[in-house]
Amino acid sequence: MERRTIGAAALAVGAVGLGCMPMSWAYSTSRQRGEESLRTVHRALDAGATLLDTADMYGPFTNELLLGRVLKERRRDAFVSTKVGLLVGDQHIVANGRPGYVRRACDASLRRLQTDVIDLYQLHRADPEVPVEETWGAMADLVRAGKVRALGLCAVGARASRRAGARLHDTTVRQLERVQQVFPVSAVEAELSVWSPEALETLLPWCEQRGIGFLAAMPLGNGFLTGTLTPGVGFEADDLRARHPRFTAEMMAANQPIVAGLRRVARRHGEHVTPAQVALAWVLSRGRQVIPVPGAKRERWVVENAAAVDLRLTEHDLAEIADLPAALGSWD
């Protein structure tokens, strides 16, 4: 697989990564199968999708434990990205950016992942009760201690920014400018897809100007852009899409023209090319520092996703995608 680099340290990874969250958290519990997930991670590594993206809150903790079983055998094949800063309760999620907690959380993640170093340690969310510089300083100390190789920051959620009347990523850019004064940012992770292109406005240019890697989360629109979801079928109660306004039956039906457009482009490239591959190729075309991290828990999907690296969209393809209607429905 083509390789891309993250940050000034030029950490090399496969151009498409693997989002591991669906294996343990936020998507239908009944479809989460540990042994199948293990095979999926191995298949991703075999295909060159070396960036494995997880977090201590996924599960919580069980996603890191699952990856640890793979890393115990194949640590040299993988680039491990995990996150800190969010705690999961029974009915709520809270931020914790206290330096002492960050240090303890890192040690716990290292144990679960069965490794002595985390390649990319990301701040999942800033704690409103702790200056972000203090949290970032504690994370920088972990780099100096040899427990972490590079630091990243996840973008602030859409709802918080939009309620403030700001552009979607203004809050994240302000945080980045503050922490950059403490220790270099190597990567930013934020949603970027055909139906959620907002990062192109300010966040991605900010990263480009500074040589910072960009991990494109949810590049397949939580599965919608694959064209495999049926409007009106519904989701299990614990699936995050059951509460997402874009995944109501009405909105899924209304947004079908986006999938239809991706299908048209796919057909021009061959009968075996899929809408998902076109969607990933679009993300890959946004810049050499952009690495899509599609979530998957089945081997067939990681193989399909990895093959998107070889799909080259034409100017005509890109223009047609740009002309697709904007997605309807939002978090607001």
* Catalytic-labelled residue, pool 27, 58, 101, 121: 58
Express each pLDDT in 172-183 by its tens digit.
999 999 999 999
Which two tokens mark 6? Answer: 């993250």
> In angstroms, rounded to a whole number, what is the distance separating the alpha carbons of residues 147 and 189?
21
Residue 85's contacts (CB-CB under 8 Å, 6 or more residues apart) are 95, 96, 97, 102, 123, 124, 125, 126, 127, 135
Q: Are 248 and 329 in contact (CB under 8 A)?
A: yes
Question: Phi and psi for 81 in degrees, rounded to 5?
Answer: -115, 120
> In angstroms, rounded to a whole number, what is the distance separating the alpha carbons of residues 169 and 198?
8
58 is catalytic: yes
User: Which residues pair with residue 88 across a beta bridge?
Assistant: 93
The CATH class that applies to domain 3-221+290-312 reads: alpha beta
Phi-psi bin for 67: left (phi > 0), alpha (psi -120 to 50), beta?
alpha
Residue 216 is inside which H or E element, if any?
strand 213-217
The pLDDT profile of the chain, 332 residues, written as one tens digit per residue, is 999 999 877 899 999 999 999 998 656 565 556 799 999 999 999 999 999 999 999 999 999 999 999 999 999 999 999 999 999 877 789 999 999 999 999 999 999 999 999 999 999 999 999 999 999 999 999 999 999 999 999 998 654 444 445 578 999 999 999 999 999 999 999 999 999 999 999 999 999 999 999 999 999 999 999 999 887 777 777 777 877 888 888 999 999 999 999 999 999 999 999 999 999 999 999 999 999 999 999 999 999 999 999 999 999 999 999 999 999 984 43
Q: pTM of the full predicted structure?
A: 0.94
> In angstroms, rounded to a whole number, what is the distance separating the alpha carbons of residues 13 and 16?
8
Express each pLDDT in 49-95 by its tens digit.
999 999 999 999 999 999 999 999 999 999 999 999 999 877 789 99
Nearest to 175 by CA among 151, 195, 149: 151
